[in-house]
Amino acid sequence: MAFEAVDVEAGLALTGEVELADSGLLRMRHRLRNTGIGPYVVDGLHAALPVPGHARELLDLAGRWAKERRPQRRPLGTGAWVREVRRGRTGHDAPLGLFAGTEGFGFGHGEVWGLHVAWSGNHVSYAERMAEGTALLGGGELLLPGEIVLDSGEEYATPWLYAAYSGRGLDGVSSAFHGRLRSRPHHPGADRPRPVVINTWEAVYFDHDLDRLRELADRGARIGAERFVLDDGWFRHRRDDSAGLGDWYVDETVWPNGLEPLISHVRGLGMEFGLWVEPEMVNPDSDLYRAHPDWVLRRTADALPPSWRNQQVLDLANPEAYAHILERLDSLLEEYEIGYLKWDHNRDLIEAGHEGRPGVHAQTAALYRLMDELRARHPGVEIESCSSGGGRIDLEILERTDRVWASDCIDALERQSIQLWTGLLLPPELVGSHIGAAPAHTTGRVHGLGFRAATALFGHFGIEWDVSRLDERELSELAGAVSVYKELRGLLHSGDVVRADHIDPSVLLHGVVAADRSEAVFCYARTAAPDDVLPAPARLPGLDGSRRYRVSAVDPTGRPAGPERRDPAWVTEGSVTLPGAVLASAGVPVPLLAPEQAFLLRVRAVD
């Protein structure tokens, strides 16, 4: 549906577009056209939707690097709550969505209205209640002064604003977002299962050696990996993070025969090959910068923006810089059999100027054009949005990418929460989730393989670990975890995501239920020591109350579940059969877990 408005005196024409998906997800945007004879400066143009007076509470997300998407709540009182993102990318501290609801709303109860601004640059989300009692949720691009100037006949389009309503809590809002994403013709996983990934970053970092990487690939294939990703360090001058960005040629000193020997080995093992890139960035210590220092986004020609991670931002709105990066990426994809790009973006856009104006809008639009062109030339190549981990997660980047890297932190305890809240918008198949080493590289915590595997299972599963150092027992258990994922991924990547409002704040209970309610899998994760001696039962949402289900324990490493803890009788006996209504209301007893342990429940209908 579209509506139009005209201001003859100002010389402006506005077209509003509204679409409603079958899943119940609404999206809207505005197009503003200058119909006058002189230039028109656009300071801001947002879309907003009303919410009723009984929406009295707000939820959004905050965070930082390696601890993304932390929930925060507050009353929706008179006035405005405004979240601005000025980092030039979506950002680790971005709200992801803004949710208003009835007091105390949770995952499975209460009325909720949710909103998401689909834009990968600067943007704003806000909630406002007037003194008259009316309220709204809104948002759009956050434009810097002079960033958009429309000449006569030119047009500016706002980002899409996505919104959903649910009468059954946050899970209903998630269902609308997930359903719309899964209905896209290009949605990953529609034509083949999501492959098990083995990524080399935390295994070798910059220490690239063909024999060692071949061994990693051998071990990966042995345990069931299906995609091998060579991370940072393969291109010229890149022995650490201080040099080389922009020099997208294979480093001849490390790879005298190019990447083909490794790629042939990987593909000979039956795995797809993937490669890390960071095309929007440049190191001052690089051949590209020395040849074209003028290709850097900067406010003034005589001063660089503050450095971060030894790098600057390449101005993709500069046609020459854009053409160079497109040629380099296209050449790599033409020369080598690469099926996947891990596309990183490791710094904010600070003092990002283009031709004397703020350049974030132009940079974001140029990025979209670059990805679109590469996808058109190489339609079979998947792309991951990795931006210092979870720094660029939004629905517009996901129109061009096939998954996101939720966080650089693979610590399973942190990941339980990060993935839970990322899942408000994104279904599991879009969220990269890997088993890391113990101790975790970002936190130093040590978790058992069962907890790490149970956490990684609820996403697009992978391994970020030096598997060449594992003994036979560890390899067998890791192979078991891969087998469990392969058995369950059809359900995990098509079913409805559900989350329990558990009485114990030290427990996260979440799962995926098949659309026809014939089966489900749940994860009961204890994140801290409980207040009570005995754990409260696990009440399993989302099942058909009129059907009977057999519930059994599943070890995430594939081993037979045994009485290794103080297990309830049904666990040691193998299973219990109960009506769905009972499982949702009374639940089932669970083992007495220590902090930072998890327990999987497999549920199958028996009638």
571 Cβ contact list (under 8 Å, min separation 6): 553, 561, 563, 591
Whether 408 is catalytic: yes
Q: Report how far apart, in Å, the C-alpha atoms of 307 and of each of 263, 281, 303, 311 are.
A: 34, 11, 11, 6
Catalytic residue selected from 408, 411, 555, 567: 408
Q: Which two tokens stand for residue 183?
A: 């209905």
Cis peptide before 439 (omega within 30 of 0): yes
Specify the number of domains making up the chain.
Answer: 2
DSSP 227-274: EEEE-S--BTT-SSTTS-TT--SB-TTT-TT-SHHHHHHHHHTT-EEE
Whether 470 maps to a domain, the answer reads no
Which of 182, 205, 225 represents a domain boundary (last residue)?
A: 182
Does 231 participate in catalysis according to the annotation? no
Please say whether the beta carbons of 235 and 207 come within 8 A.
no
**What is the model's pLDDT at position 565?**
57
Beta-strand ranges (E) seen in 107-218 are 112-118, 123-129, 135-141, 148-150, 155-157, 160-166, 197-199
In this predicted structure, what is the pLDDT of residue 191? 85
Q: Does some domain include residue 426?
A: no
How confident is the model at residue 560, as a pLDDT? 58
* 271 occurs within a structural domain: no
CATH code of 119's domain: 2.70.98.60
Q: Given 166, 182, 198, which residue is the final one in a domain?
A: 182
Quick one: pLDDT at residue 301? 85
Q: Is residue 46 part of a domain?
A: yes
Which two tokens mark 500? 């329990």
Q: Measured between alpha carbons, how far is 586 from 603 in angstroms, rounded to an integer?
A: 16
Write the DSSP assignment of 503-545 as a string of letters: S-TTEEEEEEE-TTSSEEEEEEEE-S--SSSSPPPB--TTS-T
Q: Residue 597 phi/psi, 5° resolution?
A: -130, 160
d(CA 202, CA 175): 34
C-alpha distances in Å from residue 528, one per residue of 62, 178, 504, 507, 596: 21, 30, 10, 8, 7
Residue 57 forms part of a structural domain = yes
pLDDT of residue 37: 94
Residue 496: which of 231, 187, 176 has the closest Cα?
176
Contacts of 483 (CB under 8 A, 6+ apart): 224, 558
| Torsion region of 389: left, alpha or beta (phi above 0 gives left; psi -120 to 50 gives alpha) | left
The predicted pLDDT at position 557 comes to 86
Q: Bridge partners of 149?
A: 41
Q: Which amino acid is at 1?
A: M
Q: Which residues contact 564 (CB under 8 A, 6 or more apart)?
A: none
Q: What is the 3-state secondary structure (H, E, C) of 58-104?
A: EEEEEEECCEEEEEEEEECCCEEEEEEECCCCCCCCCCCCEEEECCC
Residue 69 maps to a domain: yes
Nearest to 321 by CA among 271, 364, 282: 282
**Considering the domain boundaries, does residue 539 fall inside one?**
yes
pLDDT of residue 534: 87
Q: What pLDDT shows up at residue 563?
A: 44
Angular region, 53: left φ>0, alpha ψ -120 to 50, beta rest: alpha
Give the number of other Cβ atoms within 10 Å of residue 565's Cβ. 15
Q: How far apart are CA 575 and CA 7, in angstroms?
A: 69
Domain CATH for 557: 2.60.40.1180
- How many C-beta atoms surround the C-beta of residue 145 within 10 A? 8
Residue 424 included in any domain: no
Last residue of one domain, picked from the residues 157, 182, 207: 182
Residue 55, beta-bridge partner list: none
Mean pLDDT per 10-residue segment, the chain (607 residues): 95 98 98 97 97 96 97 97 97 97 98 98 97 94 97 98 98 98 93 96 97 98 98 97 98 98 98 98 98 96 91 98 98 98 97 94 98 97 97 98 98 98 98 98 96 98 97 96 97 98 96 98 96 92 98 85 68 94 97 93 95
Q: What domain range includes position 91?
A: 2-182
Which ranges of 336-471 would DSSP assign to H, the alpha helix?
A: 360-377, 412-422, 449-456
DSSP secondary structure, 282-337, as one string: E-SSSHHHHH-GGGB--SBTTBPPPPBTTBEEB-TTSHHHHHHHHHHHHHHHHHS-
Active-site residue (options: 93, 344, 394, 496): 344
| 344 residue type, one letter | D
Neighbouring C-beta atoms of residue 69, cutoff 10 Å: 27
Whether the CB-CB separation of 577 and 551 falls below 8 Å is answered with yes
Per-residue pLDDT, 215: 98
